Structure 1
Amino acid sequence: MFSIIVRTSFVFMLVCGLLYHLAVTAIAQIVMPYQANGSLVKDEQGTVIGSELVGQSFTDPKWFHGRLSSIEYAADGSGSPNYAPSHPDMLARTLESVEQWEIHNPQVARDQLPIDLVTNSASGLDPHISIQGAKAQIPRVSAQTGIPLEELERMVEEHIKGRELGFLGEPVVNVLLLNIDVSHHLK
């Protein structure tokens, strides 16, 4: 009886712990290798510069900025302090973010500031901003780069990702991909 239990346990460990994972990995590599390898974005030389799935910190005014990160964009962990909107630390951080926005984006009034640009997502790694968040930054990016407003507007439109499955979530813009497009126009 004991040997049957040990053999059965060994077989299940082999099947569930090793063979299943090897099969799923192999299928993913064949069916969707780009996604299976982390949706890595590479430059012209083939150097990895980021992932479509993980937000990055852009602080230079010539780039579009993403959402705030309470974990400093460390992809080895994710999370948020989960403060309520009324928590003093959350209120102070949000007010500081609004003040910074006004300093760097004087062309856009405070009441036109999209909330996603001064708050963080639940994971702290969100690579997307709202369409309004991207469009609100166009005047600053244009002033810093010399790229015409109309051209930046076109770039934002090209980088809009629609709703998941056509009905889940809101349309968003991937900040890394948009900034790569901006960098190509600066060359």
Structure 2
Amino acid sequence: MDERAARHNAKMKAIKSARDEMMKAKTEEKGLIIVHTGAGKGKSSSGFGMVMRCIAHGMPCAVVQFIKGNWETGEKMLLQAHFPEACRFFVSGEGFTWETQDRARDVAAAANGWRIAREQILDPAIRFVLLDEINIALRYDYLDLQEVLDFLLTRKPPMTHVCLTGRNARPELIAAADLVTEMTLVKHPFRNGVKAQMGVEF
């Protein structure tokens, strides 16, 4: 073994030893409150990636979509066609707020989505719930933030994971969450006149 390889080997052994020691203290298991936010692409995509991961592990899921409306997205078509028993799929939104142009309807749709979300979270058969774009509903005060926080913190079953996606997550939600990821926008083709692409954005 040459000197460079030997140094690398020694370094990796030290890292592994430190990691093994650190992992001994990581014994707790719990259902997480997860937030995906930020201006960059990938918030919903990451949430649906978690759904597929849970399905692979035999963990029943539910998806409640706020805001987006009845788009025929790839993830919706895949889950409904191939995994209807493993993942329940609900659409409560009627489209983006600039499409509906009717606050009362948006508020009613969000309230219905939150009712469905509570039912799914409380169902002992469900292990993971994706609340897609709920952050938008919270941002525009279509839902009462404190009610959502109180429910997640006091009524969510201990081992149920809940993922909330959408831009501009409220600071109080970020503070309450166990895991928060902010997608940063670096570059997007929309700014250069390219419309949303099938398989990439829907």
TM > 0.5? no
Q: TM-score, normalised by structure 2?
A: 0.27
Rg larger in structure: 1
More strand by share: 2
